[in-house]
A and B are shown apart, each in its own frame.
Chain A
Amino acid sequence: DTAVSQTPKYLVTQMGNDKSIKCEQNLGHDTMYWYKQDSKKFLKIMFSYNNKELIINETVPNRFSPKSPDKAHLNLHINSLELGDSAVYFCASSQEGGERIFGPGTRLTVL
């Protein structure tokens, strides 16, 4: 049973395109996150949702828009993709005050 799943695992696209990454957790956690990991492995929080409500939005361009249809899902939509958006994007979830459980990641390559 996959606790936190993401699709797709790989995403290759052209500059200027719009793409989405989907995330689902079956842990019953209340909080979900999106992290970006750059080529130097630095992991940076982008967004956090608690029970479908946005609680953390770290200086992320407004081309990135998270959407949480319910507390088990947190999708990430990216408009007008740029070269600098190339990275690995991780979804994670946690229960209140608990550790993050990470998904397998989505490697985004913008050409």
Chain B
Amino acid sequence: AQSVTQPDIHITVSEGASLELRCNYSYGATPYLFWYVQSPGQGLQLLLKYFSGDTLVQGIKGFEAEFKRSQSSFNLRKPSVHWSDAAEYFCAVGAESGGYQKVTFGIGTKLQVIP
């Protein structure tokens, strides 16, 4: 069974600073990888996904993530954070299970942006 770890529960960055949110996964084969964002009181919105191909994936809102097989990681990055990026971020890993894709979510990282 697959699993995903988000080591940082809470991160605070200054507006305009760069951001990196960590995500590590455990799965025997190449997984499907996702990053979602959840603003307060909202549902989860897909930022980006990795299925195969180029290991650097571009997403919405200026985010990108890089799949590193050797480190079992899929870290999310943004070069310059905006106050509106304050939210909860979830990494997720998907894998085939019994003919269907099962997706497991991490516990989330809460991003606080200070002026």
Contacts and interface: CB of A to CB of B under 8 A. Distances in A.
Nearest to B36: A102
Helix, strand, loop or mixed for chain B's interface?
strand
A76 B14 CA distance: 41
B114 interface: no
A57 to B, nearest CB: 12
A56 interface: yes
Contacts of B90: 43
Given A100-B46, A102-B44, 14 more contacts: A41-B110, A43-B90, A44-B105, A45-B102, A50-B100, A92-B44, A97-B32, A97-B101, A99-B34, A99-B46, A102-B36, A103-B43, A105-B42, A105-B43
Nearest 3 CB-CB pairs, A to B?
A: A102-B43, A102-B44, A43-B105
Interface of A: 4, 31, 40-45, 48, 50, 55-56, 90, 92, 94, 96-97, 99-105
Interface of B: 32, 34, 36, 38, 42-46, 49, 88, 90, 98, 100-103, 105, 107-108, 110
6 contacts: A41-B88, A43-B105, A97-B101, A99-B34, A100-B46, A104-B43
